[in-house]
């Protein structure tokens, strides 16, 4: 049994503005909000929740209301432990008795929480070749703190092709880009130190910043009609006024919006941060996934002394290949290599050998996948325009997902309703802080077209259910999809 507990302050912070007037009984809204936190991963499994009495006092509710919410969660399989016992988070092992049968029973769950592709067809062949080469590495101890030299050189060569002079000594191999960010946070960020990031952003990055004790400082991306790009002045001001230790930015196909920062804005950003103490960390996990317009690789070929780049093979090749890297000044790489011993002892040799094989293909495999992604992106937008015409779904220049704008702030409620339809979604607030983005929903286009079609059908049913449970807006203005 896990000994982990979710503190009262932590739970109420995650819940945010969970209650909406006219959206149903308080116990139903509370149970739905906690269920969403469990499904999103914001509450870990097998963790003890606060007691009914203390949660009721914190939320200004009666204990009966909280007891009813916990009871509903137990009935649906999201909590374990009988009344009077510690309530621990869980996931249902079968269909919920409260939900009527849906197409889930026939076709299975459609999961849109992960914007990733299945393994590239070349992955298996790369592992076969890596196994053939493994014996040459067995006489050594196998602990490569910075990573295999040939993999570091292969990564460095990729940067040189982009016009960024890079040596293998500027590369540290990690367990993916997320692991790379965690290493940097441990090295550079002290508890309470401000960390600036573009808002919305990659959810696990926010989690990592908070876990490191950093103080989250979000800078919103422009979000009005026809808006695009970044608030460069806002980013510079936030970094300088807060004395931020780090700025974590996804400039090349921001996750979840798919936006790419223009070269002119990058120049303004670097000029504005010149002389500051802020470490500029650029997550380039999606940099090679440009689908329309000029490639991000050319726009991102700028450098600065206090700039660090994170890379990964999880989005472009396969999520199961946990290979990422950090590109930084040699002195930073040496400090990271020395400090990682207390955190992990390096990346498995076999995976590194397979990564070398995949990186040395000259980009042919990825070039073959871009047309597939482009077709699926456009297919999903077309289906959404047909079934949900009042949703606004901008056409991203790249990346792996749409960032849909909903007509009303129903993202969390929609996610709960969709689960009952056999469709798993990541609600908009998962990509931000303080309950933001209830009018947004990330929709990956990485699944085959037939599955995307079925996902949109289920999404439409869920949207209608949520719509019947809410007061209709005074007027609905049709918005063209672009």
Give the tokens for residue 217: 């400082």
Query: CA–CA separation, 256 vs 426, rounded Å?
Result: 11
75 CB neighbour count, 10 Å cutoff: 14
Give the pLDDT of residue 46: 85
How confident is the model over 185-196, as a mean pLDDT? 93
Structural domain includes residue 94 = no
The CATH number covering residue 71 comes to: 1.10.10.10
Q: Do 388 and 310 fall within a single domain?
A: no
351-385 tens-digit pLDDT: 999 999 999 987 888 888 999 999 999 999 999 99
How confident is the model over 433-441, as a mean pLDDT? 91
What's the distance, CA 109 to chain centroid?
A: 20
Q: How confident is the model at residue 257 (pLDDT cuts 50, 70, 90)?
A: very high
Of 311, 343, 360, the residue that ends a domain is 360
Tally of CA atoms within 13 A in the half-sphere of 127 that contains its CB: 11
Structural domain includes residue 354 = yes
Q: Do 262 and 294 fall within a single domain?
A: yes
Is 245:185 a contact under the CB 8 Å cutoff? no
69 CB neighbour count, 10 Å cutoff: 27
Give the pLDDT of residue 330: 94
Structural domain includes residue 1 = no
410-423 tens-digit pLDDT: 999 999 999 999 99
Q: Do 80 and 162 fall within a single domain?
A: no
Give the pLDDT of residue 225: 57
Q: Do 274 and 130 fall within a single domain?
A: yes
Give the pLDDT of residue 93: 63
- DSSP tag of 23: S
Percent of the chain past pLDDT 90, that is, above it, reads 63
Give the pLDDT of residue 199: 95
The CATH number covering residue 451 comes to: 3.90.1150.10
Percent of the chain past pLDDT 70, that is, above it, reads 90
Residue 301 above 60 pLDDT?
Answer: yes
Place of tokens 């079609």: 453
How do the residues of the chain divide into helix, strand and coil, expressed in percent and rounded to 5? 45, 15, 45
206-232 tens-digit pLDDT: 999 999 999 999 999 998 655 678 999
Give the pLDDT of residue 82: 65
Helix (H) or strand (E) holding 388: none
Of 345, 360, 375, the residue that ends a domain is 360
Q: Do 372 and 454 fall within a single domain?
A: yes
Q: Do 305 and 442 fall within a single domain?
A: no
Query: CA–CA separation, 47 vs 206, rounded Å?
Result: 20
The CATH number covering residue 213 comes to: 3.40.640.10
Residue 28 above 90 pLDDT?
Answer: no
Q: Do 140 and 285 fall within a single domain?
A: yes
Mean pLDDT of the chain: 87
100-146 tens-digit pLDDT: 333 333 448 999 999 999 998 789 999 999 999 999 999 988 888 99
Query: CA–CA separation, 78 vs 45, rounded Å?
Result: 9
Q: Which domain holds residue 49?
A: 8-89
Q: Do 194 and 299 fall within a single domain?
A: yes
Q: Do 159 and 302 fall within a single domain?
A: yes
Q: How confident is the model at residue 467 (pLDDT cuts 50, 70, 90)?
A: confident
Is 69:30 a contact under the CB 8 Å cutoff? yes
Of 339, 360, 381, the residue that ends a domain is 360
Residue 316 above 50 pLDDT?
Answer: yes
Preceding amide of 200 cis, omega within 30: yes
Structural domain includes residue 167 = yes
Residue 83 above 70 pLDDT?
Answer: no
Phi, psi of 312 (to 5 degrees): -160, 160
324-327 and 171-174 strand pairing: antiparallel
Give the pLDDT of residue 147: 95
Q: How confident is the model at residue 25 (pLDDT cuts 50, 70, 90)?
A: confident
**Rounded-to-10 torsion of CA 294, 295, 299, 300:** 170
Q: Do 129 and 155 fall within a single domain?
A: yes
What's the distance, CA 119 to chain centroid?
A: 19
Query: CA–CA separation, 413 vs 266, rounded Å?
Result: 37
Residue 476 above 70 pLDDT?
Answer: no
In 3D, which of 28, 12, 284 has the Cα closest to residue 166? 284
Q: Helices then strands (H, E): number in the chain?
A: 17, 14
Residue 462 above 90 pLDDT?
Answer: yes
Contacts of 356 by beta carbon, 8 Å cutoff, 6+ apart? 130, 148, 150, 151, 154
Of residues 78 and 468, which shows the higher confidence score?
78
How confident is the model over 243-250, as a mean pLDDT? 96
Written in H, E and C, the secondary structure of 59-75 is HCCCHHHHHHHHHHHHH
Helix (H) or strand (E) holding 111: strand 110-111
Q: Tell me the three state secondary structure of residue 450.
A: helix
Q: How far is CA 460 from CA 132, 265, 384, 385, in A?
A: 50, 38, 9, 11
Task: Tally the domains of the chain.
Answer: 3
Structural domain includes residue 244 = yes
Q: Do 170 and 286 fall within a single domain?
A: yes
Pure H helices in 257-387:
263-273, 296-299, 330-339, 349-359, 364-387
Structural domain includes residue 141 = yes
Query: CA–CA separation, 259 vs 399, rounded Å?
Result: 8
What's the distance, CA 381 to chain centroid?
A: 21
The answer to whether the Cα torsion of 345, 348, 353, 358 is positive or negative is negative
Give the pLDDT of residue 304: 81
Tally of CA atoms within 13 A in the half-sphere of 468 that contains its CB: 6
Residue 442 above 60 pLDDT?
Answer: yes
Q: How confident is the model at residue 68 (pLDDT cuts 50, 70, 90)?
A: confident
In 3D, which of 178, 175, 158, 174 has the Cα closest to residue 166? 158
Q: Do 33 and 132 fall within a single domain?
A: no
Structural domain includes residue 145 = yes
Q: How confident is the model at residue 285 (pLDDT cuts 50, 70, 90)?
A: very high
User: CB-based burial of residue 310 (10 Å sphere; 0-12 exposed, 13-18 middle, 19+ buried)?
Assistant: buried
Written in H, E and C, the secondary structure of 273-310 is HCCCCCEEEEECCCCCCECCCCCHHHHCCCCCCCEEEE
Is 436:365 a contact under the CB 8 Å cutoff? no
In 3D, which of 282, 295, 258 has the Cα closest to residue 431? 258
Q: How far is CA 468 from CA 87, 190, 407, 428, 461, in A?
A: 32, 48, 14, 21, 11
Structural domain includes residue 276 = yes
């Amino acid at each position: 049994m896990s000994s982990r507990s979710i503190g009262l302050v932590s739970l109420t912070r995650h819940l945010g503005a969970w209650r909406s007037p006219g959206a149903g009984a308080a116990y139903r809204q509370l149970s739905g909000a906690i269920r969403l936190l469990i499904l999103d991963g914001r509450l870990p499994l097998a963790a003890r929740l606060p007691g009914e009495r203390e949660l009721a006092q914190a939320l200004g509710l009666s204990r009966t209301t909280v007891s009813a919410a916990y009871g509903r969660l137990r009935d649906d399989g999201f909590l374990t432990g009988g009344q009077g016992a510690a309530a621990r988070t869980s996931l249902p092992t079968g269909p919920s008795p409260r939900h009527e049968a849906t197409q889930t029973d026939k076709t299975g769950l459609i999961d849109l929480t992960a914007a990733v592709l299945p393994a590239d067809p070349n992955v298996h062949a790369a592992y076969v070749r890596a196994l053939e080469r493994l014996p040459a590495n067995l006489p050594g101890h196998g602990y490569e703190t910075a990573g295999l030299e040939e993999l570091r050189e292969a990564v460095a060569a990729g940067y040189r092709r982009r016009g960024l002079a890079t040596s293998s000594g500027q590369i540290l191999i990690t367990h993916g880009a997320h692991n790379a960010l965690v290493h940097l946070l441990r090295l550079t960020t002290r508890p309470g130190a401000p960390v600036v990031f573009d808002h919305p952003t990659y959810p696990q990055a926010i989690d990592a910043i908070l876990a490191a004790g950093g103080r989250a400082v979000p800078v919103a991306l422009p979000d009005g009609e026809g808006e695009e790009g970044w608030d460069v002045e806002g980013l510079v001001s936030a970094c300088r006024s807060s004395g931020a230790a780090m700025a974590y930015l996804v400039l090349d196909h921001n996750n979840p919006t798919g936006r790419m920062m223009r070269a002119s804005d990058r120049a303004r950003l670097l000029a504005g941060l010149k002389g500051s103490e802020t470490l500029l960390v650029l997550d380039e996990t999606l940099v090679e996934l440009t689908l329309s317009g000029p490639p991000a690789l050319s726009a991102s070929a700028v450098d600065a002394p206090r700039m660090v780049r994170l890379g990964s093979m999880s989005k472009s090749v396969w999520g199961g290949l946990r290979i990422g890297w950090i590109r930084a000044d040699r002195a930073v790489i040496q400090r990271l290599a020395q400090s990682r011993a207390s955190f992990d002892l390096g990346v498995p040799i076999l995976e590194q050998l397979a990564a070398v094989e995949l990186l040395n293909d000259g980009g042919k495999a990825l070039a073959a996948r871009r047309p597939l992604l482009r077709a699926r992106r456009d297919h999903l937008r077309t289906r959404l325009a047909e079934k949900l015409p009042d949703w606004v779904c901008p056409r991203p220049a790249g990346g792996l997902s749409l960032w849909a704008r909903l007509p009303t702030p129903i993202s969390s409620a929609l996610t709960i309703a969709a689960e009952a339809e056999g469709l798993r979604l990541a609600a908009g607030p998962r990509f931000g802080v303080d309950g933001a983005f209830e009018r947004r929903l990330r929709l990956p286009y990485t699944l085959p077209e037939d599955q995307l079609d079925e996902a949109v059908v289920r999404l439409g049913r869920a949207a209608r259910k949520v719509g019947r449970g809410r007061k209709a807006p005074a007027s609905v203005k049709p918005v063209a999809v672009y």
